Amino acid sequence: MTSLRHDHHHHDHAHTNWWSKLQHAVPFLHSHSHVGTVDPALESSARGLWALKISLLGLGATALLQIIVFTISGSVGLLADTIHNASDALTAIPLGIAFLLSRRAANRRYTYGYGRAEDLAGVIIVLMILASALVAGYESLMKFLHPEPLRNVWWVVAAAFIGFFGNEAVAVFRIRVGREIGSAALVADGQHARVDGLTSLAVLVGALGSLLGFPLADPIIGLLITLAILFIVKDTALTMWHRLMDAVEPAITESLEQAATQVAGVQDVHNLRLRWIGHRLHSEMHITVDEDLPTRESHQIAEGVRHALLHIQPGLATITVHVDPCGHGLQADAH
């Protein structure tokens, strides 16, 4: 029996010099291909950090502008949205720390490395979103008990539009980069920003309600935003629960099984296990081959399986392939 383990950073692809230079110069052009001896784990972590820096600037500018408008207008609906946008910006801090930790090498204590810190950061994000919901709900309730007329309503309208476009741009950016590097925390944070953008438009409804002589429209919209945030908490918590429980999409499992089965010489595929650790996917599987094959040929079949899996699922960080004999010699298993 042969067991083969492969680290993805040994699987490199050749590219022309001009294209590789362009990919490193312009991060949006980066794909699965890797140049030279760059470790994909380090490369994807660096890309995640870069995405966080850009989105932090975008959300920070959006929140700052909305705070200024809230000071002028006194809109609690806008305040609820601003608090949520600010919490979105702050989620970059735990994620950034996690990405930095994930770049550390594995050791005898942390044999899988430090990638799990990214999933723990996702839990922190869930708690931060929940806190923003509680604050927004409290402010909206106070506005119900002590209603105040909006001032400079058209400024509130403008800020709502700015909040929508700022959040949507950050959402598209985070989701795209998160999917590229396999980061559930970054994707969930991007989806959070997307809904934030939609709730910014809800602030517009509250402002228009005030213009039409219905001042309670503003706290009502604030409570609706709070409800939307709670739904985000549920969805994000479910996503992070799946990661912490080593859950993967069944479609990934099926595609890898099919890819391994189609490799010449593989008679059976069983005991396939997959787990995400941060934004890196790790796999283990058993394959059955003809027991009369020389060890070299069995190893080559395992190599074929490894390459097939890498091309089906580029996010794989490690692949362990255990080779079992088919057993047609009818010898009893000592175990």
Pick from 244, 277, 292: which residue ends a domain?
244
Q: Helix, strand or coil for residue 328? A: coil
Pick from 244, 270, 300: which residue ends a domain?
244
Residue 83 pLDDT > 80:
no
Residue 275 pLDDT > 80:
yes
Q: How confident is the model at residue 88 (pLDDT cuts 50, 70, 90)?
A: low
pLDDT confidence of residue 36: 36
Q: How confident is the model at residue 295 (pLDDT cuts 50, 70, 90)?
A: very high
Q: How confident is the model at residue 303 (pLDDT cuts 50, 70, 90)?
A: very high
* Cα 93 to Cα 98: distance, rounded to the nearest angstrom: 9
One domain, residues 21 and 70 = no
One domain, residues 52 and 180 = yes
One domain, residues 144 and 253 = no
One domain, residues 49 and 131 = yes
* Cα 93 to Cα 91: distance, rounded to the nearest angstrom: 5
Between 232 and 254, whose confidence is greater? 254
Residue 210 pLDDT > 60:
yes
* Cα 81 to Cα 85: distance, rounded to the nearest angstrom: 6
Q: How confident is the model at residue 329 (pLDDT cuts 50, 70, 90)?
A: low
Query: What is the average per-residue pLDDT within 111-117?
Result: 90
pLDDT confidence of residue 283: 94
Token pair 């912490």 in the structure block, residue: 244
Token pair 């549920």 in the structure block, residue: 234
User: Which tokens hold the place of 8?
Assistant: 């993805």
One domain, residues 128 and 46 = yes
Query: What is the average per-residue pLDDT within 136-160?
Result: 76
Split into its structural domains, the chain has a count of 2
Query: What is the average per-residue pLDDT within 281-307?
Result: 94
Residue 160 belongs to domain spanning: 39-244
- Local structure of residue 9 (DSSP, 8 states): G
Please list, in sequence order, all residues whose beta carbon lies within 8 angstroms of the beta carbon of residue 280, skipping any fewer than 6 positions away: 41, 44, 102, 113, 115, 182, 315, 317
* Mean pLDDT, the chain, whole residue set: 78
One domain, residues 78 and 196 = yes
The neighbour count for residue 167, using CB atoms within 10 Å, is: 30
Nearest alpha-carbon partner for 269 in 317, 303, 310, 302 = 302
Q: How confident is the model at residue 60 (pLDDT cuts 50, 70, 90)?
A: confident
- Check residue 265 and give left, alpha or beta (phi > 0: left; psi -120 to 50: alpha): left
Residue 74 pLDDT > 80:
no
One domain, residues 223 and 254 = no
Residue 43 pLDDT > 50:
yes
* Cα 15 to Cα 33: distance, rounded to the nearest angstrom: 8
One domain, residues 84 and 137 = yes
Query: What is the average per-residue pLDDT within 66-76?
Result: 72
Distance of CA 204 to the CA centre of its chain: 30
Pick from 214, 244, 274: which residue ends a domain?
244
Query: What is the average per-residue pLDDT within 206-224?
Result: 77
Residue 178 pLDDT > 80:
yes
Distance of CA 80 to the CA centre of its chain: 25
One domain, residues 312 and 334 = yes
CATH number at residue 159: 1.20.1510.10
